[in-house]
């Protein structure tokens, strides 16, 4: 097993960059370290303490020659832990929570969406790394035999709202509309009308979520036990009803087009570039990417960035996003149906991803999470996916 110094060396980076762009005849001359905060990456921080291999994000200033031109760029080398180690780490969190979750979790350890994280992010960057909302990718390295999974990407500097999960109020109307417009463009480009492409074995579906229902119940019980103020009797009853309704609501979701979603789309994994054309969303850390209805990413983003003083704007932003998606696809003209599907996507987000967040929060506090949970339950109150359909609010 090589050290971090090996992967940060000129020789390794040159091989990475040259393989990524062989036509550019790249030669790396010098590499020097740059300070970089790893704390925003929850999976890296939690897994780093349970592995002997070098994992994490390494800031690097790289001087290289490409097609005869000498240039210096700041980059980040991301060394990813294999998914089996991430899954084992999450299993240890479940055991630390104790109770029902500790007993139920083991059979689901490789089925929660994290087992293929080391493959998924590299696959997305390899296929779509030049998209407008992606960071610049300088190289990818996937060595399954030696469990080395590396991404060389731009060092995000001179950007807005980087790691802004603790300051949601900084997300202005301009930022939100820029993000929703960029998401509509991305989701439209990858839409799968009439069916969902099967890319990974843990991709959401009726069968997947139904099989996961004992874990969803245990995650809900854990959250209610440890955070009864957030998960009061009404909220718990709503999610218990959602678990019972998985076959019915997924039969409905199955009828709607799916797209490639980020599946972790929140201020921990986004920032903005200010360009001559306006704000441009940049989304990174695609390790949980999957196929789901496009509303899913929007439900998550709004749960993270809308606090109580802006809950009333949630229907407005959902409608703005719908109009953007409709303009690009012509498939989302029914606003009531769109809101209905957004509510069903919210059920999946709350039962699975938010439950996993609360499992980690039980062991190690994440200060941003209580307000996200509160905003999420406001989403359910507004969209009422298990009750009547909600009225449409016109975007302004």
Instruction: Say yes or no to pLDDT of 268 above 90.
Output: yes
Expressed in angstroms, the distance from the first to the final Cα of the chain is 56
DSSP 109: T
Instruction: Say yes or no to pLDDT of 374 above 60.
Output: yes
Residues 6+ positions from 165 with CB-CB distance below 8 Å: 40, 266, 267, 268, 304, 368
> pLDDT per residue over 289-336, tens digit each?
999 999 999 999 999 999 999 999 999 999 999 999 999 999 999 999
Angle (CA) 6-9-14 rounded to 5° is: 120
Q: What residues does 33 pair with on adjacent strands? A: 60
Cβ 159 vs Cβ 309: under 8 Å:
no
Average pLDDT for 348-362: 98
Structure-block tokens of residue 131: 């998209």
Mean pLDDT over each residue of the chain, to the nearest integer:
94
Residues 6+ positions from 49 with CB-CB distance below 8 Å: none
Cβ 367 vs Cβ 301: under 8 Å:
no
CA distance 359 to 225: 11
Res 8: pLDDT = 97
Which has the closest alpha carbon to 224: 366, 358, 378? 358
Average pLDDT for 159-175: 97
What predicted TM-score, i.e. pTM, was given to this entire model?
A: 0.94
Res 33: pLDDT = 97
> pLDDT per residue over 59-72, tens digit each?
999 999 999 999 99
Which has the closest alpha carbon to 356: 268, 282, 288? 288
Which has the closest alpha carbon to 342: 360, 358, 320? 320
CA distance 150 to 121: 10
CA distance 35 to 50: 23
214, with CB counted inside 10 A (0-12, 13-18, 19+), is middle
Cβ 268 vs Cβ 286: under 8 Å:
no
* φ, ψ for residue 364, nearest 5 deg: -140, 120
* Distances 279 to 73, 160, 172, 314 between C-alpha atoms, Å: 22, 9, 11, 21
Instruction: Say yes or no to pLDDT of 58 above 50.
Output: yes
CA distance 325 to 125: 23
For 43, other C-beta atoms within 10 Å of its C-beta total: 22
For 232, other C-beta atoms within 10 Å of its C-beta total: 12
Structure-block tokens of residue 95: 């055991």
């Amino acid at each position: 097993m090589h050290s971090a110094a090996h992967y940060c060396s000129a020789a390794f980076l040159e091989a990475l960059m040259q393989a990524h762009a062989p036509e550019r005849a790249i030669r790396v001359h010098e590499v020097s370290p740059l300070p970089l905060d790893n704390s925003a990456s929850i999976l890296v921080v939690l897994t780093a303490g349970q592995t002997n291999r070098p994992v994490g994000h390494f800031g690097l200033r790289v001087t290289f020659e490409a097609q005869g031109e000498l240039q210096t760029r700041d980059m980040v080398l991301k060394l990813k832990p294999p998914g089996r180690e991430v899954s084992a780490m999450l299993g240890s969190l479940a055991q630390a929570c104790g109770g029902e979750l500790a007993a139920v979790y083991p059979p689901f350890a490789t089925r929660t969406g994290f087992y293929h994280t080391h493959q998924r992010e590299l696959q997305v960057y390899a296929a779509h790394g030049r998209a407008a909302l992606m960071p610049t990718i300088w190289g990818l390295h996937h060595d399954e035999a030696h469990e080395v999974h590396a991404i060389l990407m731009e060092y995000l500097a001179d950007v807005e709202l980087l790691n802004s999960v603790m300051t949601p109020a900084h997300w202005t109307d301009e930022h939100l509309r820029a993000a929703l417009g960029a998401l509509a463009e991305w989701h439209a480009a990858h839409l799968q009308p009439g069916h969902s492409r099967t890319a990974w074995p843990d991709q959401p579906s009726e069968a997947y979520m139904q099989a996961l229902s004992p874990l969803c119940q245990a995650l809900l019980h854990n959250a209610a036990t440890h955070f009864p103020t957030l998960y009061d009797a009404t909220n718990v009853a709503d999610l218990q009803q959602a678990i019972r309704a998985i076959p019915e609501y997924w039969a409905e979701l199955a009828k709607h087009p799916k797209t490639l979603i980020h599946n972790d789309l929140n201020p921990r994994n986004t920032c903005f570039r200010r360009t001559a054309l306006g704000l441009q969303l940049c989304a990174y850390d695609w390790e949980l990417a999957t196929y789901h209805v496009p509303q899913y990413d929007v439900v998550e983003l709004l749960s993270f960035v809308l606090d109580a003083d802006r809950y009333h704007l949630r229907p407005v932003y959902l409608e703005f996003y719908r109009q953007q998606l409709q303009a690009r696809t012509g498939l989302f003209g029914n606003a009531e149906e769109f809101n209905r599907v957004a509510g069903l996507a919210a059920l999946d987000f709350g039962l699975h991803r938010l439950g996993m967040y609360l499992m980690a929060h039980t062991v190690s506090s994440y200060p941003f999470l209580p307000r996200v949970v509160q905003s999420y339950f406001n989403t359910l109150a507004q969209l009422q996916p298990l009750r009547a359909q909600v009225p449409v609010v016109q975007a302004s």
